[in-house]
Amino acid sequence: MSSVKDWAAPTPISENRSGLIGKGVDRYEGRLKVTGTAPFAYEVEAPSPPAYGVLIASPIAKGVVSSADISAAQAAPGVRLVWTPHNVPAQGERGAKINPRSQRGSNPALAAKIEHFGQHVGFVVADTLENAKAAAALVRFDYAAEPADLIFEDNLDAADQPEGEEDVRIGDFEAAFAGAPVRLDETYVSPLQNHAQMEPCATTAWWDGDNVTVHTSIQMVKGGQHTLAETLMIPSTQVRLLTRYIGGGFGGKGQSYDDLTLAALAARELGQPVKVAYTRQQMFQATIHRPAVHMRVRLGAQPDGRLDAFALEAVTHCRREAPFTEHAANFARSLYAAPNRLTGHRLVKLDIPAAGAMRAPGEASGMLSLECAMDELAEQLGLDPIALRLRNEPETDPETGKPFSTRQLVRCMTEGAQRFGWDRRNPKPGQVRDGRWLVGLGMAAAIRGNFLLPAKAGVRIDADGTITLRQGMTDIGTGTYTILAQITAETLGVPLAQVKVELGDSDFPPAPGSGGQFGAATAGSAAFAAGMNLRKALAELAIGDPNSPLYGDDPELVTFGGGNIAVDNRAEPLDQLVARAAPDGVYVEGSITPAADARDYSQHTYGAHFAEVGVDPDTGEVRLRRMFGVFAAGRILNAKTAMSQITGGMIWGVGTALHEYNEVDPRYGSFIAQDLAGYHVPAHADIVNLSAMFLDEVDDKANPMGIKGVGELGIAGAGAAIANAVYNACGARIRNYPLTPEKVLAALP
């Protein structure tokens, strides 16, 4: 195993001779996407004309399907197959072989036992989508309904410690809190949010003998492949899973769903390719969501602002049969110094759709609490919110005492304050008007963990000089294709146009996929390792080839650049070398594993958000006027894609503070909003002036390239900055997100 010390040495990435690293190059697949020619899973052309599957959802939350009448549907035009719990083919149970993350999808599909509203109970395949839909409406089900626990707030008393988890206690929180001269004890509630990726879950499947090929929309290639193999009770080698383009994942596609299972089963049954896509309503009811979280924050401080006691206790919910904890308190373990600390989670089990990962699970909800509480405490103390945070800036990880790999939180806050004009904030709320609008400023800190997982990559060079990187990685719209091309081109000293990137295929060397903002670091480090191995192979090739100008040179002296391999002024183009000495091309693989001593450091990305909002006193409407964020997230690979990740996260944070939520109907267990007309995320008009910057940073404890994740950091804390600005604008402190006109109006005098 490697050590983080090995990662400090200069590399082609840190040397960045052709300047590709950090450059804001356009998206590798951008043209395909904007011209509509990137085939998403549902659009992939099958080898023969496909049939179309439609799913039928349960209208009850709990119980069993007692009977199903499929006769009318079977007789409807174009119908090929009608499945219910009573005739769906047997499916293998998902076992220990696969990543537990990928086990949460319903298994088996079309189970008779109903565990939530919207669970699929029927499936119809027909020659056209319209015929399948019309026939689906003809299937009649009878249900034996059972009482269900549906409402989080009504079941808070039933909250339990999540299995295998313990509270983290440092010092004596209770005593320190009781003795603190200044205290805050408030509960904040973050909303339940649904995944609403532009591309729904979708699969095109076909069989060739005993082998199945599936194109599906999933973030984790291997997880999906193994899950399907277990379901179909065939070896994974007989499942080829492809996921080339993904129209948004955000954690919601970390697992597979019924579209994958049923498309594969039906294609086998019919001997014909089958396409299945979720409707928007099914995306809401039959995938996963970010659960609501009740967060009690207690802060005990000295009059000068130093925290003696800090506690964040989070209560959240999950589907009864699918344990998942939204770890809303974890971020706080590394954020502010306080000698006496308590953090922990409790879980309420409900009969509603499954809770699961959504962009920055933990931080996105959790920071809405503490970062408001700090604002409230600052006011109590008569301190500026930044000054309060500076006073509690730890030197080492406040919980573990480990050194930080890098931590530029202070600079994020001070630099941001200066650029944003924080000194213009009037600490007294409700003082600034612009026309009818009450105007206020708010800020919040951001922290999000950084991770590295094991991964592999393969890279080959062909006789024409084309370099192809292959990896069982996914690009969920974040820019993975692009940064892998940049890393490969820079490592091998060739122009970007010479590099091809192929992703999303279970036949390729595996990578864990996209999630937890570990994608770029993990897949990128493996690609970098593969590139370094190819350098070595090419150097050996040249040195061992009597026809090469490098024949007999010292491999240590070989350099790459401008498409050439060289020692001093002896050089030859890579394509010339390969065409002559290895006309079939050269293929190598590389891999990355976390360093043995990586856990000796507290490793995070950081930021600070600054927001200015207007509040309409007539209606309680809140409008963002401007927002600015400063972030430190290691070396930035691509200025453009990193910026769109970070600002995209901030925008989601704005939505979390102001717009985005769903509610469960207490009678049916269904979500009230089930489409994008009713489920609001920010529209363009909500985001008029929002920008961000990255501080210079290289984290040489993170991975060989010194990069970190940027995909989730932007959302962490963003909503709290908005809520703090709303308070500053109008004096209404609303601790129940989002801050809808209804809630703001109620709080206004």
Partner 1 sequence: MKPFTYERPADVTEALAMAAAVPGARFLAGGTNLVDLMKLQIEQPTHLVDVSRLPLGQIEETAEGGLRLGATTSNSQVAADAKVRARYPALAQAILSGASGQLRNKATTAGNLLQRTRCAYFYDTTKPCNKRQPGAGCAAIGGIYANTAIFGASQACIATHPSDMAVAMSALDAQVEIAGPGGRARAIALEDLHRLPGETPHIETTLEPGEMITAVVLPPPPPGGQIYRKARERASYAFAIGSVAVAGGKVALGAVAHKPWRARVAEQALAGGAGPAEAMAAELASAQPDGHNDFKLKLMARLGAACLTTTGAGSDQ
Catalytic residues, which ones?
712
Beta strands across the sheet bearing 202-208? 79-83, 120-126, 51-57, 274-277, 202-208, 211-216, 239-242
Task: Write the burial class of residue 420 (CB in 10 Å: 0-12 exposed, 13-18 middle, 19+ buried).
Answer: buried
Q: Does 675 bind partner 1 (CB under 8 A)?
A: yes
Q: Does 740 bind partner 1 (CB under 8 A)?
A: yes
Give the side-chain half-sphere CA count within 13 A for 621: 8
According to CB under 8 A, which one of 658, 715, 721, 726 is a site residue for partner 1? 658
According to CB under 8 A, which one of 6, 93, 185, 742 is a site residue for partner 1? 742
The number of residues that bind partner 1 (CB under 8 A) is 43
According to CB under 8 A, which one of 134, 307, 347, 732 is a site residue for partner 1? 134
- Name the residue nearer to partner 1 (CB basis): 284 or 310: 284
- Nearest-angstrom CA–CA distance, 17 and 38: 32
Q: Does 674 bind partner 1 (CB under 8 A)?
A: yes
Q: Does 668 bind partner 1 (CB under 8 A)?
A: yes
- Nearest-angstrom CA–CA distance, 372 and 6: 41
- Name the residue nearer to partner 1 (CB basis): 596 or 746: 746
- Is residue 705 within 8 A of residue 483, CB to CB? The reply is no
- Name the residue nearer to partner 1 (CB basis): 61 or 632: 61
Q: Which residues contact 403 (CB under 8 A, 6 or more apart)?
A: 396, 397, 600, 601, 602
According to CB under 8 A, which one of 670, 703, 724, 728 is a site residue for partner 1? 670
Q: Does 127 bind partner 1 (CB under 8 A)?
A: no
Site string for partner 1, 174-213 (x = CB under 8 A): ----------------------------------------
Site for partner 1, residues 72 to 101, rule: CB under 8 A: 77
Q: Does 105 bind partner 1 (CB under 8 A)?
A: no
3-state secondary structure 418-460: HHHCHHHCCCCCCCEEECCEEEEEEEEEEEEECCCCCEEEEEE
- Nearest-angstrom CA–CA distance, 21 and 535: 18
CA distances from 633 to 289, 407, 446, 673 (A): 27, 9, 11, 35
- Is residue 192 within 8 A of residue 662, CB to CB? The reply is yes
The residue type at 705? M
Q: Are strands 51-57 and 274-277 parallel, antiparallel or unpaired?
A: parallel
According to CB under 8 A, which one of 38, 112, 582, 673 is a site residue for partner 1? 673
- Nearest-angstrom CA–CA distance, 364 and 101: 19
Query: Which structure tokens are listed for 73?
Result: 């549907």
Query: Which structure tokens are listed for 12?
Result: 């082609």
Q: Does 562 bind partner 1 (CB under 8 A)?
A: no
Minimum distance between the CB of residue 672 and partner 1, rounded to whole angstroms? Answer: 5
Minimum distance between the CB of residue 629 and partner 1, rounded to whole angstroms? Answer: 20
According to CB under 8 A, which one of 146, 663, 689, 691 is a site residue for partner 1? 663
Q: Does 618 bind partner 1 (CB under 8 A)?
A: yes
According to CB under 8 A, which one of 393, 686, 693, 731 is a site residue for partner 1? 686
Minimum distance between the CB of residue 137 and partner 1, rounded to whole angstroms? Answer: 6
Q: Please, where are the H alpha helices in 271-426?
A: 280-286, 363-381, 385-391, 409-420
According to CB under 8 A, which one of 19, 568, 683, 696 is a site residue for partner 1? 683
Query: Which structure tokens are listed for 122?
Result: 């029927």
Minimum distance between the CB of residue 612 and partner 1, rounded to whole angstroms? Answer: 15
Q: Does 154 bind partner 1 (CB under 8 A)?
A: no
Q: Does 436 bind partner 1 (CB under 8 A)?
A: yes
Q: Does 621 bind partner 1 (CB under 8 A)?
A: yes
Residues that bind partner 1 (CB under 8 A): 57, 59, 77, 117, 130-131, 133-134, 137, 281, 436, 616-621, 623, 658-659, 663, 665-668, 670, 672-675, 677-678, 680, 682-686, 740-742, 745-746
